[in-house]
């Protein structure tokens, strides 16, 4: 763990999540070398298979223990593995002339060195080598140098694995930070577009009352400015609308748009009240607001309908107006359609479709996924989802 963290900007939580996977490295190494030893030895004797079974026990236990208790379990894994390795070596001492058993024993010791190195660092791995070699000098001095070189190889391999894992983690953290900054910039651009820019453009829209009743027009501008200033102030003070359902959000949105001169009717089909995540509810609300602002600016009508229904566990929200419309195929998508509606819905795993024709108005269809996997949908729900996607 110390090797991976190293104080180099890798979050401790990421290190704790990665540690259990490191235990699989010595386990996989031991199993691979065991297969090789058995391949060379053939069927072997009952004693050999006894050592094979004993060799498998700590590997299975270490794997199950680590993944059952995660990082907490790895604190005792090196100690338990070392204790078993010591008993294993002592039990194999009378059979030192059997090359297959010796190979399994050395493989087990290499795994122990790897466990200490990967979980506790290079110094711990070096101490594990010393603890293995010193008793071996007393029992079998002739092969001690070979054991030392073998265990040193395990230490070097472990250091290389830890270095690769650490480098991969640092790359992942750096890439995640870069993506996070890009997402934050995009969110800021979207917020500016959806608030300040939209309000400024609404002020620039001429209205018949500008000449007939300038005072009323000025009062409308002031009310709009006050409402938007309040919204921005609330967002700056981090006052969240969390806990407010989608329907309540839409009613508040209708009141907001009414203050700017657009009458919005909210229609809920069959009293639909699906479970939506906070992110999905916000995405639907903000995308609907952008669609209604486009209606206010471009449609030439002062009425719109927002309808909500549940489809296959998700939510379909439609914004409809009977205004001027436009040719979707020939018109280039602006920032509002592309980022404030389509990209926003894509971020939550949903989608948006814009339908419009000159003189026939505009319909914006938004589909948000459910917050949890729904039960298998009926044929009617599947057919409805297919109709939305076509």
Q: SS in 3 state form for the chain? A: CHHHHCCCCCCHHHHHHHHHHHHHHHHHHHHHHHHHHHHHHCCCCHHHHHHHHHHHHHHHHHHHHHHHHHHHHCCCHHHHHHHHHHHHHHHHHHHCCCHHHHHHHHHHHHHHHHHHHHHHCHHHHHHHHHHHHHHHHHHCHHHHHHHHHHHHHHHHHHHHHHHHHHHHHHHHHHHHHHHHHHHHHHHHHHHHHHHHHHHHHHHHCCCCHHHHCHHHHHHHHHHHHHHHHHHHHHHHCCCCCCCCCHHHHHHHHHHHHHHCCCEEEEEEHHHCCCCCCHHHHHHHHHHHHHHHHHHHHHHCCCEEEEEEEEECCEEEEEEEECCCCCCCCCCCCCHHHHHHHHHHHHHCCCEEEEEECCCCCEEEEEEECCCCCCCCCCHHHHHHHHHHHC
Mean pLDDT in residue range 266-271: 77
Q: State residue 321's pLDDT score.
A: 93
- The two beta strands, 303-311 and 263-268, are parallel
Mean pLDDT in residue range 213-237: 66
pTM of structure: 0.46
What's the pLDDT tens digit per position in 149-169?
A: 888 888 888 888 877 777 777
Q: State residue 304's pLDDT score.
A: 94
Mean pLDDT in residue range 251-261: 82
Is the model more confident about 329 or about 132?
132
Mean pLDDT in residue range 132-148: 75
Residue 229 banded pLDDT, cuts 50, 70, 90: low
Mean pLDDT in residue range 178-195: 68
The dihedral built from the CA positions of residue 315, 318, 319 and 325, taken in this order, carries a sign that is positive
- The two beta strands, 314-321 and 362-368, are antiparallel
pLDDT at 243 over 60: no
Q: State residue 306's pLDDT score.
A: 94
Mean pLDDT in residue range 8-25: 67
Mean pLDDT in residue range 351-376: 80
Q: State residue 363's pLDDT score.
A: 93
What's the pLDDT tens digit per position in 54-100?
A: 888 878 877 777 667 655 556 777 888 888 888 887 877 777 677 78
pLDDT at 380 over 50: no
Residue 130 banded pLDDT, cuts 50, 70, 90: confident
């Amino acid at each position: 763990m110390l090797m991976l963290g190293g104080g180099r900007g890798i979050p401790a939580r990421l290190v704790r999540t990665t540690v259990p996977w490191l235990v699989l490295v010595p386990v996989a190494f031991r199993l691979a070398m065991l297969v090789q030893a058995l391949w060379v030895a053939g069927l072997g004797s009952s004693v050999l298979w006894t050592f094979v079974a004993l060799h498998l026990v700590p590997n299975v236990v270490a794997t199950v223990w680590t993944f059952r208790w995660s990082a907490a379990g790895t604190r005792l894994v090196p100690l338990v593995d070392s204790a078993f390795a010591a008993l294993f070596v002592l039990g194999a001492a009378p059979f030192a002339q059997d090359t297959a058993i010796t190979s399994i024993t050395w493989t087990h010791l290499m795994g122990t060195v790897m466990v200490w190195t990967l979980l506790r660092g290079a110094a711990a791995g070096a101490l594990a080598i010393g603890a293995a070699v010193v008793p071996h000098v007393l029992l079998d001095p002739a092969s001690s140098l070979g054991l030392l070189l073998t265990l040193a190889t395990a230490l070097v391999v472990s250091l290389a694995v830890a270095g690769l894992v650490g480098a991969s983690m640092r790359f992942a953290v750096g890439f995640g930070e870069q993506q996070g900054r890009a997402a934050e910039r995009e969110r800021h651009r979207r917020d500016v577009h959806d608030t300040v820019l939209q309000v400024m453009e609404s002020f620039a829209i001429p209205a018949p009352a500008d000449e007939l009743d300038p005072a009323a027009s000025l009062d409308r501008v002031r009310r709009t400015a006050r409402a938007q200033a309040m919204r921005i102030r609330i967002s700056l003070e981090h006052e969240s609308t969390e806990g407010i359902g989608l329907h309540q959000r839409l009613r508040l949105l209708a009141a907001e748009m009414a203050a700017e001169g657009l009458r919005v009717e909210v229609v809920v089909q069959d009293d639909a009240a699906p479970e939506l995540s906070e992110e999905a509810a916000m995405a639907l609300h903000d995308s609907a607001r952008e669609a209604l602002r486009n209606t206010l600016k471009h449609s030439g009508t002062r009425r719109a309908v927002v309808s909500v229904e549940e489809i296959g566990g998700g939510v379909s929200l439609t914004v409809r107006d009977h205004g001027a419309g436009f040719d979707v195929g020939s018109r280039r998508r602006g920032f509002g359609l592309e980022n404030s509606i389509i990209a926003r819905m894509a971020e939550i795993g949903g989608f948006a479709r814009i339908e419009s024709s000159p003189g026939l108005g505009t319909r914006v269809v938004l589909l948000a996924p459910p917050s949890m996997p729904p039960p298998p949908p009926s044929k009617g729900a599947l057919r409805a989802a297919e109709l939305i996607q076509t």
